[in-house]
A and B are shown apart, each in its own frame.
Chain A
């Protein structure tokens, strides 16, 4: 699978199995690149399960009333879809896969600071994932609380909430340890000559992300423990019947879960910031603004959680405060969009699949972001909160944003990771189908959300059916596109033509080393440019 290199000492990380053979050479691997692939294979598996659950919901929504399943099952399906997709796919997603693979290379390092801790983080991830799967099959039945576990329903339902929350608790540690590892790596292992402002912008995004992972994740850990204690020992934190306060749960939950959205989005923005300069052969416009806006988003993002709770009976002062900050956090995201588009100006644009995915990302992200303004504004929030509008907004941000950025990243970096190239034509066909399917699936949800269709409804009034039908058809189209995309990528990684070291004429360090990289990344000391996006 490796390329023949002029350097006789070169051994691809894919061929170098170290002390162990076969599957153990992967499970016991400490190489950041092998760990990245381990995360990718596990995350893709959960993603496919999550998509199957999504399609089951779309089938159920084809007609009002019972279509293919009963209400109890539907409630469990959307709960599991949320838990899988949020905690096991999009939160680890970009930073665990592409962060692990490219962060050390981007800063000229041989590995992360703590390779064994990195391996341990993946093991924890696997244990947490197994627990999440167990919560589905154990005696009390799959959890039916929604991924938000709102109390007091979650403290009183008979379903298997303890196992599901314990799974999320364990998964949190994987996230905390990865964040810690990345922060230390960026501080300690930058190659000589690489200052913070000489780093590419993907490490910048990961740096901001890592701080959120490290500081916010413990809050959800504590919250879930409190929930478990309440269920197991009847300690009244959240249930008013036991003297608790249900709003306390919502506050604690969103103190983590809102910043978690930035754990998903910041690396996505980082990926796009890498792809656009490469395919335009132009240095990124406003390097410092883009770098600092990542930190600004991470910082202000900590203080906006209350916009999930405008109608919860929270005080009016709190609603005012959270709405104001929510609008302010929109600005650094807008800055990034302006800088991306300006980077295309007077470039030499090569329209290849990764770049097309980046364009699709920007389009979907603008829709997702601006519909977020309608949710952040208190008056309009009252109309669309807890409706299908939120579902649409969230999927535009997380799937259209983080998901399409993940697809962009895999199309961009696959030749580097596997040393082989995929078929461009097939990749473009997959992209177009994905884009059409995505918009058909989620756009109608905006419309019926404005008309009042609540979210998490097993049944719905007949007037919403035409939009539900379009949405379901979009779902099937999207799945077709995903199948084509995954087939193209897998075929490319296994049997594609050997890829050169720098197929896209990129300027960052990963393109200066062979494809796939050797075990220690840099067999010679890397040359650090003052400007990472120097295309001259």
Chain B
């Protein structure tokens, strides 16, 4: 009756069933009692109320029994949880990085992927990290969820038991496009996995400094590098191009240069490219002048 999607389904779901079962039992019995009393002891029946003295033994019983029940619930919950923190030594280590608003996966050998592809029946350790704000790494089908905290390493692990695609959700609110921060885990056979690994590109060892700054500030979540339209205009070929912008309601044409890019970072609402919504981007006032220079340098080269 339990899915085999991951090795944690059984522990979590059995705790879930037991706690829910006991809860439903109490809900039904107590509700039935209330309804029964309301009918049986209704004032319309004309019987006067009987004052009943407190009974110490009864009182202690219904302190003791719930206490035992909740301690049992605590125990099965803890038992289902412990394995989630004990990672087998032979686990394949993959790093998941959250940034506004996407997941990125780093495989051994400095390789980067957008989809988390894993082999079936192997232990997978996911190191969790965030480059900007808090994010959540949640795979409901696997019954795993841990937060991605900037500057504080966290982890999760699992062994997938069934082939297929599973949803990853960001579960810690992270701003504008929080609900678009989705990902996919693809469980494949070992052979397919090995083949897929070979197709992965190696991450540029030294991405240009300007690029690093863009990544660190989450710019490329909204501004693509390949010309595709995400939330804001793509960075590709933007430098030196002519754009129609709206300045306090009136349209004019400008050429994208250092001054325009800098202004758009510090005060994004000043000149908004026509066709894009105003007010979505926050001003990034904390960037230093040298950072801004490096960004401009980088964008100049991005044809």
Chain B interface size, under 10 / 10 to 19 / 20 to 34 / 35 or more: 35 or more
**A370 near B42: Cβ-Cβ < 8 Å:** no
Interchain CA distance A156-B134 in the complex, whole Å: 12
**B51 near A72: Cβ-Cβ < 8 Å:** no
**B180 near A459: Cβ-Cβ < 8 Å:** yes
Query: Contact check: which of A247, A382, A459, A461 meets B81 at CB < 8 Å?
Result: A382
**B150 near A313: Cβ-Cβ < 8 Å:** no
**B80 near A380: Cβ-Cβ < 8 Å:** yes
Residues on B with beta carbons closer than 8 Å to the beta carbon of A378: 77-78, 80-81
**A377 near B76: Cβ-Cβ < 8 Å:** yes
Residues on A with beta carbons closer than 8 Å to the beta carbon of B63: 289, 331, 335
B19, B67, B178 — most chain A CB neighbours (10 Å): B178
**B51 near A380: Cβ-Cβ < 8 Å:** no
A357-396, CB < 8 A from B: 359, 362-363, 366-367, 370-371, 373-374, 376-383, 385-387
Query: Contact check: which of B30, B76, B178 meets A379 at CB < 8 Å?
Result: B76
Interchain CA distance A259-B169 in the complex, whole Å: 30
Contact with B along A520-536 (1 / 0, CB 8 A): 00000000000000011
Query: Contact check: which of B38, B145, B176 meets A383 at CB < 8 Å?
Result: B145
What's the nearest-Cβ distance from chain A to residue B41, in Å? 5
Contact with B along A141-164 (1 / 0, CB 8 A): 100111000101100111100000
Residues on B with beta carbons closer than 8 Å to the beta carbon of A190: none
| CB-CB nearest in chain A for B66 | A334
Interchain CA distance A452-B140 in the complex, whole Å: 5
Interchain CA distance A347-B74 in the complex, whole Å: 36
What's the nearest-Cβ distance from chain B to residue A381, in Å? 8
Q: Does B167 contact A (CB under 8 A)?
A: yes
Query: Contact check: which of B54, B70, B78, B149 meets A312 at CB < 8 Å?
Result: B149
**B47 near A348: Cβ-Cβ < 8 Å:** yes
**B51 near A337: Cβ-Cβ < 8 Å:** no
What's the nearest-Cβ distance from chain A to residue B193, in Å? 25
| CB-CB nearest in chain A for B86 | A316
B11, B31, B47, B153 — most chain A CB neighbours (10 Å): B31
What's the nearest-Cβ distance from chain A to residue B138, in Å? 7
**A348 near B43: Cβ-Cβ < 8 Å:** yes
Tell whether A454 pairs with B73 under 8 Å between CB atoms, given A282-B49, A348-B41. Answer: no
Contact with B along A241-282 (1 / 0, CB 8 A): 100011100000000000000000000000000000000111
Tell whether A341 pairs with B66 under 8 Å between CB atoms, given A247-B149, A378-B78, A457-B179. Answer: no
**B169 near A452: Cβ-Cβ < 8 Å:** yes
Query: Contact check: which of A70, A337, A344, A363 meets B41 at CB < 8 Å?
Result: A344
A318-346, CB < 8 A from B: 319-320, 323-324, 327-328, 330-331, 334-335, 337-338, 341, 344-346
**A383 near B140: Cβ-Cβ < 8 Å:** yes
What's the nearest-Cβ distance from chain A to residue B129, in Å? 11
Tell whether A150 pairs with B147 under 8 Å between CB atoms, given A323-B78, A348-B47, A461-B167. Answer: no
**B12 near A374: Cβ-Cβ < 8 Å:** no
Interchain CA distance A362-B30 in the complex, whole Å: 9
Tell whether A382 pairs with B16 under 8 Å between CB atoms, given A348-B47, A349-B37, A459-B179. Answer: no
**A320 near B78: Cβ-Cβ < 8 Å:** yes
Q: Does A283 contact B (CB under 8 A)?
A: yes
Tell whether A153 pairs with B133 under 8 Å between CB atoms, given A334-B66, A378-B78. Answer: yes
Residues on B with beta carbons closer than 8 Å to the beta carbon of A327: 70-71, 73-74
28 intermolecular pairs with C-beta atoms under 8 Å apart: A75-B178, A152-B150, A156-B282, A157-B175, A240-B150, A241-B150, A282-B49, A282-B51, A313-B146, A337-B30, A341-B30, A341-B37, A346-B49, A347-B37, A348-B49, A359-B34, A362-B30, A373-B70, A374-B23, A377-B19, A378-B77, A380-B12, A380-B16, A382-B8, A387-B171, A456-B179, A458-B179, A460-B179
* Interface residues in chain B, defined as those with a beta carbon under 8 Å from any beta carbon in chain A: 8, 11-12, 15-16, 19-20, 22-23, 26-27, 30-31, 33-34, 37-38, 41-43, 47-52, 54, 59, 62-63, 66-67, 70-71, 73-74, 76-81, 84-85, 128, 132-134, 136, 138, 140-141, 143-147, 149-154, 167, 169-180, 277, 279-280, 282-283
